[in-house]
């Protein structure tokens, strides 16, 4: 039987304690309790110490963003050849090849392919490593989201951020190690995309709500001062300690006591991080904050920078919906403009602060899109369907092979044909860059040792800087 890599990672009985803490600040504090300020030993020298994961939910089209296909221009509106292995991922009825409505350029010294819709990001391509060889197994949004975010397309397993904080701990005792910045509507599959799964509850992602109070019960009730809170906690701690004396080894009670203290500390630090008034006007404008089109994602990107700067280990920010079955020029064009400026500002900001070298930034969706589509809306609303066989993602900072484009899809973008890897190998590579070995980062559950890759994978060496 495979030996557990680090038995001290397992904390029995924690999950049950979570249920009694409610849905507000107490549970959030508890979710960070054991990982906070408890940095672990890496398996090998790390190239990155933290990660910002930009999740473009809905499936952005590789063909219309970073993987141009001139052949589609030649075949535009010709009937799609459905013979052999060219079956479309969601084919039904007569289908036609669809060219990209966007122009492409070679940007930067690296000559990276990028759609002209990316007006700001094109200036950062030399910091990025584009990967065109990734494949997943599902063309359904929930299962594909689960697979990209947890490794298991059926859900129920820990999110990538949960595995990272389980392996590395947190660098700030006052903040969760894994923070999620979702849209108002959660992604398909909901909070299971950032669940702790079978890991102890303290490794789950902590979502900051985009509207209203970012965390429930963040602020104390009116009239309750910090001094009063401190006295109440001291009294409660004294009573709990007396209760604990007659019940040695009750980890649930110890966890609850510590969670109250962490919640008290979070009330001081979280509002300061969320308050962007301390940022100068130039910084806010660079992220697109104040512009209706870019404000929402701009705030997420700026907050991601502030969070990793404060020691949060893994931040995941969601944008969408990229599910452009119709009017791809209008839909994708609008979506690109909503994230282009914020993402470029994030990379520039991290670099200027000396954080990019140690911060791995990942951009991806749950799958790519097809080179063909049916004709709807009178034959003018060209779009694309789901495609699990081809997708483009990119990495920046954190030891990635910057300035390179790795892998390739076929001439029409239907399927990856060079440096082809399953998403599990991307997960293994992400952990590797953070100093973690997927085969050693295991957790014993349901009779076996489990890992992010499910049953093992390989580092994609081409993505790693030498």
In Å, how far are 164, 167, 408, 433 from 6, measured between CA atoms? 14, 9, 38, 19
> What does the buried/exposed string (b/e) look like for 104-136 if buried means 16 or more CB atoms within 10 Å of the residue's CB?
beebbebebbbbebbebbbebbebbbbbbbbbb
| Interatomic CA distance for residues 413 and 369, integer angstroms | 8
As to burial, measured by CB atoms within 10 angstroms (0-12 exposed, 13-18 middle, 19+ buried), residue 455 is exposed
Q: CA-to-CA distance for 309 and 307, rounded, in angstroms?
A: 5
Which pLDDT belongs to residue 202?
Answer: 81
pLDDT of residue 396: 98
In a domain, 74, yes or no: yes
pLDDT of residue 131: 98
What pLDDT is attached to residue 1? Answer: 39
Q: Classify burial at 85, counting beta carbons within 10 Å of its beta carbon; exposed 0-12, middle 13-18, buried 19 or more.
A: exposed
Tell me the H-state helices in 275-408.
Answer: 281-286, 295-309, 328-352
> Apex CA 295: angle with CA 291 and CA 299, to 5°?
145
* Tally of residues, the chain: 466
Q: Token pair of 10, please? A: 């397992």
CB atoms within 10 A of CB 307: 24
How far is the C-alpha of 191 from the C-alpha of 185, rounded, in Å?
A: 11
Candidates 205, 280, 252; CA nearest to 53 is 205
pLDDT at 15: 38
Q: How far apart are CA 466 and CA 322, in angstroms?
A: 34
Residue 221 lies in a domain: yes
CATH number of the domain at 405, please.
Answer: 3.40.720
Q: Alpha helix locations (H) across 20-126?
A: 25-30, 70-75
Question: What distance in Å separates the CA atoms of residue 377 and residue 430, rounded to the nearest whole number?
Answer: 42
Tell me whether residue 44 is in a domain.
Answer: yes
Q: Is the distance from CB of 72 to CB of 91 less than 8 angstroms?
A: no
Domain housing 165 = 7-463
pLDDT at 90: 58
Domain assignment present for residue 81? The answer is yes
Domain count, the chain: 1
Taking the whole predicted model, whether its pTM rises above 0.75 is answered as: yes
The residue assigned the tokens 């819709």 is: 117
d(CA 218, CA 175): 13
Partner residues linked to 265 by β-bridges: none
Q: What angle do CA 312, 318, 324 make, to 5 degrees?
A: 160
Q: Would you give per-residue pLDDT tens digits along the chain (466 residues)?
A: 344 444 333 333 333 333 333 334 544 544 444 444 456 789 999 999 999 999 999 999 999 999 999 999 999 988 886 555 455 555 556 788 999 999 999 999 999 999 999 999 999 999 999 999 999 999 999 999 999 999 999 989 999 999 999 999 988 888 889 999 998 889 999 999 999 999 988 888 989 876 666 665 666 677 777 677 777 777 877 887 888 777 776 655 665 666 666 666 666 677 778 888 889 999 999 999 999 999 999 999 999 999 999 999 999 999 989 999 989 999 999 999 999 999 999 999 999 999 999 999 999 999 999 998 866 544 567 889 999 999 999 999 999 999 999 999 999 999 999 999 999 999 999 999 999 999 999 999 999 999 999 999 999 999 999 9
* Residue 107 is assigned to a structural domain of this protein: yes
- The verdict on residue 77 lying in a domain is yes
Is the residue at 1 inside a domain?
Answer: no
pLDDT at 51: 98
> What pLDDT, on a 0 to 100 scale, did the predictor assign at position 403?
98
Distance from C-alpha of 143 to C-alpha of 46, rounded to nearest angstrom: 31
């Amino acid at each position: 039987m495979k030996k557990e890599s680090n038995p001290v990672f397992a904390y029995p009985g924690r999950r049950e304690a979570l249920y009694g803490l409610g849905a507000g600040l107490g549970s959030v504090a508890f979710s960070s309790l054991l990982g906070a300020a408890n940095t672990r030993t890496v398996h090998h020298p790390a190239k990155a110490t933290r990660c910002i994961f930009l999740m473009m939910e809905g499936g952005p089209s590789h063909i219309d963003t970073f993987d141009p296909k001139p052949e589609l221009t030649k075949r535009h509106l010709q009937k799609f050849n459905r013979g052999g292995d060219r079956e479309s991922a969601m084919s039904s009825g007569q289908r036609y090849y669809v060219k990209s409505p966007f122009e492409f350029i070679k940007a930067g010294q690296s000559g990276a392919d990028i759609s002209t819709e990316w007006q700001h990001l094109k200036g950062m391509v030399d910091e990025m490593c584009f990967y065109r060889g990734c494949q997943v197994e599902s063309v359904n949004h929930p299962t594909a989201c689960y697979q990209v975010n947890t490794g298991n397309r059926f859900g129920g397993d820990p999110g990538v951020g949960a595995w990272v904080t389980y392996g590395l701990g947190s660098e700030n005792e006052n903040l969760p190690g894994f923070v999620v910045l979702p849209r108002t509507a959660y992604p398909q599959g909901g909070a299971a995309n950032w669940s702790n799964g079978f890991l102890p509850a303290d490794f789950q992602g902590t979502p900051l709500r985009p509207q209203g109070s970012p965390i429930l019960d963040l602020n104390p009730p009116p009239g309750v001062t910090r001094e009063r809170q401190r006295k109440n906690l001291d009294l409660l701690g004294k009573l709990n300690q007396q209760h604990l004396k007659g019940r040695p080894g009750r980890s649930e009670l110890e966890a609850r006591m510590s969670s109250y203290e962490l919640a008290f500390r979070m009330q001081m630090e979280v509002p300061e991080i969320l308050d962007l008034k301390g940022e100068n006007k130039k910084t806010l404008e660079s992220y697109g904050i104040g512009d209706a089109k870019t404000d929402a994602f701009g705030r997420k990107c700026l907050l991601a920078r502030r969070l990793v700067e404060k020691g949060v280990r893994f931040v995941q920010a969601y944008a969408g919906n990229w599910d452009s079955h119709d009017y791809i020029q209008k839909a994708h064009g609008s979506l690109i403009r909503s994230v282009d400026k914020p993402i470029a500002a994030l990379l520039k900001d991290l670099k200027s602060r000396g954080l990019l070298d140690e911060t791995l930034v990942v951009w991806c969706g749950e799958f790519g899109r097809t080179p063909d589509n049916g004709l709807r809306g009178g034959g003018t609303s060209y779009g694309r369907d789901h495609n699990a066989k081809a997708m483009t993602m990119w990495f920046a900072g954190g030891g990635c092979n910057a300035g390179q484009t790795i892998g390739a899809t076929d001439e029409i973008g239907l399927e990856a044909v060079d440096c082809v890897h399953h998403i599990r190998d991307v997960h293994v590579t992400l952990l590797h860059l953070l100093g973690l070995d997927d085969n050693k980062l295991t957790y014993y559950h349901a009779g076996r040792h489990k890992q992010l890759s499910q049953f093992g994978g390989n580092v994609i060496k081409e993505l790693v800087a030498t």
